[in-house]
C-alpha cells in the first residue's frame, strides 16, 4: 500500500487550505483528537508544523496523496525529538479513505523515514482511545499501548510506543 502514496511536505501558508480541509472535517477529527479544531487553533498548529518542517529537513509534516490520482487524502508526520533518540509519528485521513490500508501504508512510509539517524531508540504515536482502527494499525506495526492520559483540553489520549 505504501507504494500507492506520495508524501510531500507542507511547504508554506499556501498549503494551509488543504490542512484546514482535513482538521475541519468532523469525522476525521473525532477519531483523531476527539474534537474539531477552531480555525485559530489550526493556524497556530500549522505555523508550528511549518517551523518543524524547516528545522527537520528529512522529517516533518507531510501532505499525503494517492499516486494514481494525485488526490489529497490526509497527512503524515515523523518528528524527531531534540536529542534524536525518539521520534513521534502521526497520521490522519479523510473518512472516505479509512479501512482500505492507507493508514497502514502511511505508517510504513513514516517508519522508513525514521530509520536514520541510528540514534533513535523508540517511536511514539498518540491516538484517541476510541480509535480502534488506528490502535490496530499501530499494534500490527509493533507498537504497544503505554498509557491513557488526559490532555490539556480535558480529552483523553493514548500513547503507543515501539522500541527500535
Fold of 2-163: Aminopeptidase (3.40.630)
Would you state the pLDDT for residue 138?
98
Would you state the pLDDT for residue 154?
85
pLDDT in tens, 31-40: 888 788 999 9
pLDDT in tens, 89-126: 999 999 999 999 999 999 999 999 998 767 899 999 99
Angle at 107 between CA 103 and CA 54, to 5 degrees: 115
Mean local confidence (pLDDT), 61-81: 96
Would you state the pLDDT for residue 139?
98
User: What residues contact residue 142 under an 8 Å CB cut-off, 6+ apart?
Assistant: 162
Q: How far apart are CA 112 and CA 158, in angstroms?
A: 23
For residue 2, pLDDT over 90 is answered with: no
Specify whether the CB–CB gap between 123 and 86 falls below 8 A.
yes
For residue 136, pLDDT over 90 is answered with: yes
Reported as a pLDDT band with limits 50, 70 and 90, residue 160 is: very high
For residue 82, pLDDT over 90 is answered with: no
Would you state the pLDDT for residue 117?
66
pTM (predicted TM-score): 0.93
Amino acid at each position: 500500500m505504501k507504494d500507492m502514496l506520495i508524501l510531500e511536505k507542507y511547504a508554506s501558508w499556501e498549503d494551509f487550505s488543504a490542512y484546514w480541509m482535513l482538521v475541519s472535517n468532523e469525522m476525521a477529527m473525532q477519531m483523531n483528537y476527539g474534537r474539531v479544531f477552531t480555525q485559530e487553533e489550526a493556524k497556530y498548529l500549522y505555523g508550528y508544523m511549518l517551523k518543524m518542517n524547516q528545522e527537520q529537513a528529512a522529517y516533518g509534516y507531510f501532505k499525503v496523496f494517492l499516486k494514481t490520482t494525485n488526490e489529497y487524502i490526509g497527512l503524515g508526520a515523523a518528528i524527531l525529538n531534540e536529542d534524536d533518540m525518539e521520534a513521534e509519528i502521526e497520521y490522519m485521513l479523510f473518512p472516505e479513505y479509512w479501512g482500505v490500508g492507507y493508514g497502514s501504508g502511511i505508517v510504513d512510509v513514516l517508519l522508513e523515514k525514521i530509520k536514520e539517524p541510528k540514534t533513535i531508540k523508540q517511536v511514539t504515536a498518540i491516538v484517541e482511545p476510541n480509535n480502534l482502527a488506528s490502535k490496530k494499525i499501530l499494534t500490527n506495526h509493533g507498537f504497544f499501548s503505554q498509557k491513557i492520559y488526559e490532555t490539556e483540553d480535558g480529552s483523553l489520549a493514548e500513547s503507543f510506543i515501539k522500541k527500535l
